[in-house]
Amino acid sequence: MNEIVLILDLDGVITSLNVDWTTVREEVSRRVGFRVESMLEFWEKYFNTELFNLANEIVERYEFESIIKAKPYDDVKIAFQSFNGLIYLASMQSEKVLSIFLQKHGLRDYFKEVLGRERFGSKLRQVRYIIDKEDAGRIIFVDDSRRNISSCQALGIKCILFNRRAGDSLLRLINSLTHLNVKGEIRYNAKIKSQQNTLNSRK
């Protein structure tokens, strides 16, 4: 099969959760007994521990509050409708939150599988899991976190740093994809902006 496999993030690509991550980190820090500078680093380091579970309950509460008001970006559904490949959702939100959002907005059926933080603890583990199931040469990973992009580039897949604030569009990106060139490589012609200064501070 010549299908392109897209791996998409949720917050910053499909929607904006508007979680106050500074407040989240402060509460998590108080509960775990030490200063947490980055939730992404915390999830990765303490995966499968009681500290992970404790922090997950705290963060999930904030995510539930945000998901009630969150809506997909205007181009999301039409982008999915125009895409002929496979789509995975790989997010560091909780799987309960992901399920609620996708079902509420009629998006669940567009995804082959939905991956949340509880099962994997890091974006790198999520992407490795997908690579084990799909042809890495056909995978395009789209994320708004420079940290996630950097960690996944070493896996030999194509990675796109996505920035809604700079005007990037999921619809334009998907419309720019062609399945294969004569060498069997994924091609894309989207003009992806490289400005990315403060996105990681949100997470």
pLDDT per position as a tens digit, 25-45: 999 999 999 999 999 999 999
Q: Per DSSP, what are the bridge partners of residue 141?
A: 7, 159
Task: Indicate the pTM of the whole model.
Answer: 0.86
Q: Per DSSP, what are the bridge partners of residue 140?
A: 6, 158
Break the chain into its structural domains and give their ranges: 5-15+73-202, 21-67
**Torsion angles phi and psi, residue 182, rounded to 5:** -65, -20
Alpha helices in the chain (DSSP H): 21-32, 39-45, 50-67, 76-82, 95-104, 117-120, 123-133, 146-153, 170-176
- Which CATH code for domain 5-15+73-202? 3.40.50.1000
What is the pLDDT, as a whole number, of residue 178? 52
3-state helix, strand, coil in the chain (%, to 5): 50, 15, 40
pLDDT band at 195 (very low <50, low <70, confident <90, very high): very low
pLDDT band at 194 (very low <50, low <70, confident <90, very high): very low
Digit-coded pLDDT (tens) for 68-103: 999 999 999 999 999 999 999 999 999 999 999 999
Sign of CA dihedral 65, 69, 74, 76: positive
